[in-house]
Amino acid sequence: MTDACARCGRTRASVTDPAELLAWVRERERGIDQWLCHVCARAHVRDIEGKLPADYWAP
């Protein structure tokens, strides 16, 4: 596992605000964990939600 954003390369160690660190998103694709920083996660939130299974949205 790497502690860098898969999109922009920002490292988790470079984040000084704990709230921003909590906003990072972990994705698992084909058994590999990847991280998205808080900026990239916000920019790609629709892509992230689009990957959720239909069961997630069921009441």
pTM over cut 0.95? no
Per domain, the residue ranges of the chain are 12-54
pLDDT in tens, 35-59: 989 898 888 887 777 777 777 766 6
Q: Measuring CA to CA, which residue among 37, 14, 33 is closest to residue 24? A: 37
Rounded average pLDDT over 21-45 = 87
